[in-house]
């Protein structure tokens, strides 16, 4: 760079304030607009809303300030590589120079993707993307909550597709989808629907855009709100190739906002076809049941009353014959027992003794006289009869 000519007479004596003002003018005149690439560090936000930080490389560091209200499309983090556009100025109270930033962007897609990958790994390690956390979508939601810009094409696309497929009640939580406040507003919308519990499913949506424009949907505050939602949540951000970190935390990722609407409700035609298929299935099952019952009934042989009486009579005859056999057997057995007992009694009778030559003497009272002191016999019984005395 060419060495500039001296801006003042070397013999002039200035006050401190005059010298500071002169330096400030020279710096701001020489650098009305400058772009600088470097790494962010020492980021602080004052209560006034202004942000102070340093941009550095391996050889130097420059202080920067971003006035409140200056648009910043993504969250500034330590170590992030950026390109800032602004102007050099001085701050006389501290005798230092700084850059007042008008624009700030990430230093290329590679730097953005590296930052997103590091953040993804961090959140995944916490379990925010686990499949076990995923909730199924309701079959036929009554009310759908949408978090998006009310003026963007995404909301119109969702409404149009819902009307075409299966009209349902839609509640909108208006949120900016680009810029410094977008992440906070989107997270607030998710938390609002969960707090009110007034919807069956949530769609977070935004149309396509540059990677930098979609960064709010990869902010931690958004990802954590999506993962914490007890209401099923669909992410419909950007286009098919665009993947934001909210996609990993959502229960379902849709390729576009329109795709999210298609996932959340069926078409009227598809629903009608499903009902018709169910009706056919139920009808066929009912007809099959009736046919089976008819076949069972037809397989039963119905007998005439006369045949049934005759079969019962035959059964009685069989029982009677069986009883006769049993009774006859019992009688024969009993007769044999009685005959045997009679024979035993006969063998034990006293008359068998009389037949061997003995006699029995009885007194007048017909009692047996067993000795000489028994009195005068009145009768004597022999084997062939009784002799009266």
- DSSP one-letter string for 284-339: HHHHHHHHHHHHHHHTSPPPPHHHHHHHHHHHHHHHHHHHHHHHHHHHHHHHHHHH
Q: Are 178 and 237 in contact (CB under 8 A)?
A: no
Are 16-107 and 113-131+138-266 in the same CATH fold? no
Kindly state the tokens that stand for 211.
């990677």
Local structure of 83: helix, strand or coil = strand
Measured distance CA(82)–CA(176) in Å, rounded: 23
32-81 pLDDT, tens digit each: 888 999 989 999 999 998 999 999 998 899 999 999 988 887 788 888 88
Facing residues of 146 across strands?
172, 203
- pLDDT of 56 reads 93
Task: Give the contacts of 119 (CB within 8 A, at least 6 positions apart).
Answer: 218, 220, 245
The tens-digit pLDDT sequence of the chain (389 residues) is 566 666 667 778 888 888 778 878 877 787 888 899 998 999 999 999 899 999 999 889 999 999 998 888 778 888 888 899 999 888 887 778 899 999 988 877 777 788 888 899 999 999 999 999 999 999 889 999 999 999 999 999 999 999 888 889 999 999 999 988 999 999 999 999 999 999 999 999 999 888 888 999 999 999 999 999 999 999 999 887 878 999 999 999 999 999 999 999 876 655 556 566 666 677 677 777 877 877 777 666 566 777 777 877 788 878 878 888 888 878 888 888 877 776 776 666 777 777 777 788 888 787 887 887 777 788 887 878 877 87
Q: What is the pTM of this model?
A: 0.54
Facing residues of 35 across strands?
85
Q: In what order do the strands lie in the sheet with 233-237?
A: 169-174, 143-148, 201-206, 233-237, 252-253
Write down the domain spans for the chain.
16-107, 113-131+138-266, 351-388
- CATH class of the domain whose range is 16-107: mainly beta
Q: How far apart are the first and last CA of the chain?
A: 187
CATH topology for 113-131+138-266 is: Rossmann fold (3.40.50)
- pLDDT of 3 reads 61
- pLDDT of 148 reads 96
Q: How many residues does the chain have?
A: 389
Nearest to 232 by CA among 133, 127, 136: 136
Which residues of the chain form beta strands (DSSP E)? Answer: 34-45, 51-56, 61-66, 81-91, 96-106, 143-148, 169-174, 201-206, 233-237, 252-253, 360-362, 379-382, 385-388
- pLDDT of 218 reads 94
Could you give the C-alpha distances from 216 to 9, 108, 181, in angstroms and in order?
53, 17, 8
Task: Give the contacts of 337 (CB within 8 A, at least 6 positions apart).
Answer: none
Local structure of 71: helix, strand or coil = coil
Kindly state the tokens that stand for 112.
């953005």
165-214 pLDDT, tens digit each: 888 999 999 999 998 899 999 999 999 999 999 999 999 999 988 888 89
Measured distance CA(175)–CA(173) in Å, rounded: 6
Kindly state the tokens that stand for 114.
């590296």
- pLDDT of 341 reads 75
- pLDDT of 206 reads 94
- pLDDT of 156 reads 94
């Amino acid at each position: 760079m060419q060495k500039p000519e001296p801006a003042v007479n070397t013999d002039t004596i200035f006050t401190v304030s005059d010298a500071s003002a002169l330096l400030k003018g020279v710096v701001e005149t020489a650098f009305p607009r400058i772009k600088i690439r470097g790494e962010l560090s020492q980021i602080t936000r004052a209560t006034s809303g202004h942000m102070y930080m340093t941009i550095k490389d391996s050889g130097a560091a420059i202080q920067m300030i971003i006035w409140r209200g200056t648009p910043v499309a993504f969250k500034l983090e330590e170590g992030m590589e950026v390109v800032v556009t602004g102007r050099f100025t001085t701050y006389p109270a501290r005798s230092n120079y700084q850059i007042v930033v008008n624009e700030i962007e990430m230093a290329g897609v590679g730097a953005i993707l590296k930052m997103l990958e590091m953040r993804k790994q961090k959140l995944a390690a916490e379990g925010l993307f686990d499949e076990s956390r995923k909730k199924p979508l309701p079959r036929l939601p009554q009310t759908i909550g949408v978090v998006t810009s009310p003026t963007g094409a995404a909301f119109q696309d969702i409404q149009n597709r819902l009307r075409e497929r299966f009209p349902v009640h839609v509640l909108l939580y208006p949120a900016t989808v680009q810029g410094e406040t977008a992440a906070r507003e989107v997270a607030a919308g998710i938390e609002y629907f969960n707090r009110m519990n007034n919807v069956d499913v949530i769609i977070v949506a935004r149309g396509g855009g540059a990677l930098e424009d979609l960064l709010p949907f990869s902010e931690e505050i958004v990802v954590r709100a999506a993962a914490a939602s007890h209401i099923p949540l669909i992410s419909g951000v950007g286009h098919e190739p665009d993947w934001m970190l909210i996609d990993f935390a959502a229960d379902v990722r849709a390729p576009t906002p329109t795709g999210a609407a298609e996932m959340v409700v069926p078409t009227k035609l598809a629903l009608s076809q499903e009902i018709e298929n169910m009706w056919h299935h139920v009808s066929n099952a009912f007809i099959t049941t009736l046919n089976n019952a008819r076949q069972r009934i037809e397989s039963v042989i119905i007998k005439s009353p006369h045949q049934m009486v005759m079969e019962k009579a035959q059964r009685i005859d069989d029982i009677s014959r069986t009883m006769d056999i049993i009774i006859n057997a019992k009688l024969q057995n009993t007769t044999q027992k009685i005959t045997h007992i009679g024979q035993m009694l006969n063998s034990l009778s006293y008359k068998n003794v009389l037949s061997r030559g003995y006699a029995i003497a009885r007194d007048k009272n017909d009692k047996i006289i067993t000795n000489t002191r028994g009195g005068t016999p009145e009768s004597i019984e022999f084997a062939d009869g009784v002799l009266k005395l």
